[in-house]
Amino acid sequence: MTSTHQLTPNHLTPEQIATFDEQGYLVLKNRIPVDLLLRLQDAAARWIEAGRDSAASGHPDPDYVFAQRSGGRAMFRIDYLHSKSEPASLELLGSPAVLGIAESLAGPNFVPTYESLVFKDEGDGAAIDWHQDAVHPRNHRIFNVDVYLDAARPGEGSLRVAPGSHTKPVDVCQLADEYGWDAPGVVQTKLEPGDVLVHDVMVVHGSEAVTNNRLRRTIYYEFRPAEQIIAEGPWTAEWVDQRMRLIPLALTRHARQHPEHAGFAWNPDDQFRPEVGDDDEAELRIAHKVHSRGSYCSAGNVAG
């Protein structure tokens, strides 16, 4: 496992890292500054509005992901946030609050691999079944930084986590059949706007269906060490270089918004320091042609 070279106030403490490694998740209260949180909330509202406009246009953009509910189609996820004309997403990526976590758990050569907004719209309290995001050999940490824009509380469909379940593949179908939502040791999280939940991609998690729920929006940034991707895939060294070009753009965006702050001291190894391109718009959307396999309870899926 990789870890950070030095400890600053924005890095995780050794105790926090140990908790993450043992439990598979970590809650960080009040992690996101209020001014940035407000910009992200406004940006999320515009992303959702843009997705609805896209769906109504007759030529829907696949970045806006819908599911069929009992009452009709409902949007629940928006992918590739940085290409959606809202600078707050890059500001968040370039913030010490996020990059301190990334370097603490992935080392200096962290790669921002995914970015999305996942939300339950008001009244759309559909369940998210037990699952593991991605299953991998566990030679490195792979994790999501979940930034909560709205409150998520017990009794309102907040995330349930099975602590310690991240160490191996889990048959989530059997788990659901045997225990439903009340498997032994499961924790129901409580998070407020500006809190961050860091979760290992192999920790078993999900949320039960609720009715009359409030809007709940969460931004997810996944990170992996470049060394992990080069050794295990599923992407190429060229793709890693392209994704790492997001970091200088994000640091610049954060510096423009916060000229009074020193910013995050990014120092990847020379072999992974990206060649910065001259087309910022192209850099903001590096597509995924393949994905890491997860563990879900669905036809054709077997944990192994």
Average pLDDT of the chain is: 91
Query: Rounded to an integer, what distance in angstroms lies between the CA atom of residue 111 and that of residue 272?
Result: 10
Quick: pLDDT tens for 221-276: 999 999 999 999 999 999 999 999 999 999 999 999 999 998 999 999 999 999 87
As assigned by CATH, the class of the 14-296 domain is mainly beta
Residue 5: its pLDDT value, please? Answer: 52
Residue 7: its pLDDT value, please? Answer: 75
Q: Residue range 135-148: average pLDDT?
A: 98
Q: Is the pLDDT of residue 293 over 60?
A: yes
Q: How confident is the model at residue 69 (pLDDT cuts 50, 70, 90)?
A: confident
Structure pTM? 0.93
Quick: pLDDT tens for 148-205: 999 999 988 899 999 999 999 999 999 999 999 999 999 999 999 999 999 999 999 9
Gyration radius of the chain over CA positions: 19
Q: Count how many residues are written for the chain.
A: 304
Query: Rounded to an integer, what distance in angstroms lies between the CA atom of residue 116 and that of residue 217?
Result: 10
Residue 301: its pLDDT value, please? Answer: 36
Residue 82: its pLDDT value, please? Answer: 96
155 CB-contact burial (10 Å; exposed 0-12 / middle 13-18 / buried 19+): exposed
Q: How confident is the model at residue 48 (pLDDT cuts 50, 70, 90)?
A: very high
Query: Rounded to an integer, what distance in angstroms lies between the CA atom of residue 192 and that of residue 29?
Result: 8
**Directed axis angle between helix 96-106 and helix 14-23, to 10°?**
70
294 versus 70: the higher-pLDDT residue is: 70
